Structure 1
Amino acid sequence: MPEVIFNGPDGRLEGRYHHGKQPNAPIALLLHPQPQHGGTMNNKVVYAMYHAFVRRGFSTLRFNFRGVGRSQGRFDNGQGELSDAASALDWMQSFNPNAASCWVGGFSFGAWIGMQLLMRRPEIDGFVSVAPPANVYDFTFLAPCPSSGLIVHGTQDDLVPEASVAKLATKLSSQRNITVNYRTIAGANHTFGTKLDELNVTLDDYLAGISLERSLAAAG
């Protein structure tokens, strides 16, 4: 899991990168929660997401937004962090120019940034959003949502009411030509403190299903 340093729009950014073993391996970018509340790339949920993609053979990157850890710059209320994410995706693509597909995943604040990146980068094929803060940030920019993906939320989330995320998932699911899979984890709070195993199972099941769909499509 080598440490990497790459150039961002406001200075150097620090990350951890795993290169997939297969030629043309798909790529996945994982985004961490709110920096001002202690969010970093080593957050347990982000770490779980990172390894879920690694287990499926993805070339996978998680990194610290500006002003976090060894990343340079200062918190920018989402705008700068979105630019950081775009730079991270550029960096990944420079090492994986023929990647089979491109995914973005995020937890909480990182989910909000990831969905914005999804709207700006048409090469992103899918997303995984864990505990998207639909009660705090405006997600109406997803009109329409350009790609299929997974939304995961805890039924006992103490910061983001489950009903607000269910409403977002229902709205996205009503759009044509995409499939939004909404899964809840019973008893999980916002940080999935005692429910990380259940989160891992949910992520693995979803990504395994995506891999199976691709295999069947290739065979057909």
Structure 2
Amino acid sequence: MPEVIFPGPEGRIEGRYHPQKDRDAPIAIVLHPHPQFGGTMNNRVVYNLHYAFYNMGFTVLRFNFRGVGRSQGEYDQGIGELSDAAAALDYLQSMNTNAKHCWVAGFSFGAWIGMQLLMRRPEITGFVSVAPPANMYDFSFLAPCPASGLIINGAADRVAPPADTSALVRKLHEQKGITITHEVVEGAGHFFEDTHMDTLTGSVNSYVKRRLTEGTR
């Protein structure tokens, strides 16, 4: 899988780009956890999400936010990181102009950034938010949420408590025209240790495949 460097708002951004042979393949970007708490594109959840999408036939890009790894710039409270994600999507789209579907997946802080990107980019047809930190960040910008997606969290998550995630899902369920699927992995902590990772990727696989088969938005 080739390492790529592409231009971002604060200089170069480092990523890993995994293309399909099919020029019409759907595309997905995967966003990593908080840069100031050790989050990188090589986080185990992010890595497994990347390959889950690739194995479903997606061309996939994951990358380091500004100030992480070889990506230039400094942490910017989520504002700059959203711009980084937009630049990453621009890059991915420029390489795959025939893609019919565009997805965004994010873990923890990356889920918060991903949901904001969803609001800005109408071409995104689906999302996967893993352990969204609804206790730390305001998700009220999702009014209305423009696309259907999957929210998945661990029942034993102490970083992003399940009660806050459930409250977020309840608010999104009130919106018409979209379907928010919520799955809780019993016994899993924030990082889906041990066999919980297989449960996570299995849930993502079944959800995304169903959406692609249905051709729904």
Scaled by the length of structure 2, the TM-score of the pair is 0.97
How big is each residue's C-alpha offset from its partner over 1:114-163, in whole Å with a ceiling of 9 and x where there is no partner? Answer: 00000011111111000000000000000000000000000000111101
RMSD value, Cα? 1.0
Amino acid at match of 1:111: A
Pairwise CA distance, 1:177: 0.9
Amino acid at match of 1:16: R
How big is each residue's C-alpha offset from its partner over 1:145-184, in whole Å with a ceiling of 9 and x where there is no partner? Answer: 0000000000000111101101111211221111110000
Equivalent residue number for residue 11 of structure 2 = 11
Pairwise CA distance, 1:78: 0.2
Amino acid at match of 1:14: E
Cα distance in 2 for partners of 1:171, 1:52 equals 28
Note the 1:60-209 alignment, pairs <5 A. 60-194=60-194, 195-209=196-210
Pairwise CA distance, 1:201: 1.0
Greater shift in the superposed pair: 167-176 or 36-45: 167-176
Equivalent residue number for residue 40 of structure 2 = 40
Cα distance in 2 for partners of 1:92, 1:159 equals 31
Query: Does the CA-based 8 Å contact 1:21-1:57 persist in structure 2?
Result: no
Runs of 4+ in 1 over 3 A off after TM superposition: none
Cα distance in 1 for partners of 2:141, 2:212 equals 28
Greater shift in the superposed pair: 164-173 or 137-146: 164-173
Cα distance in 2 for partners of 1:11, 1:26 equals 27
Query: Does the CA-based 8 Å contact 1:31-1:107 persist in structure 2?
Result: yes
Amino acid at match of 1:206: Y
Pairwise CA distance, 1:212: 2.0
Amino acid at match of 2:207: Y
Amino acid at match of 2:56: R
Cα distance in 2 for partners of 1:79, 1:143 equals 19
Cα distance in 1 for partners of 2:82, 2:113 equals 6
Amino acid at match of 1:21: K
Pairwise CA distance, 1:21: 2.2
Cα distance in 2 for partners of 1:80, 1:211 equals 31
Structure 1, unpaired ranges of 5+? none
Amino acid at match of 1:122: P
* Paired positions, count: 215
Equivalent residue number for residue 212 of structure 1 = 213
SS in 2 for 1:7: strand
Equivalent residue number for residue 51 of structure 1 = 51
Equivalent residue number for residue 27 of structure 1 = 27
Pairwise CA distance, 1:211: 2.4
SS in 2 for 1:54: helix
Cα distance in 2 for partners of 1:52, 1:114 equals 17
Cα distance in 2 for partners of 1:202, 1:13 equals 30
How big is each residue's C-alpha offset from its partner over 1:5-61, in whole Å with a ceiling of 9 and x where there is no partner? Answer: 000000100000111222311110100000000000000000111111101111100
Cα distance in 1 for partners of 2:34, 2:78 equals 9
SS in 1 for 2:40: coil
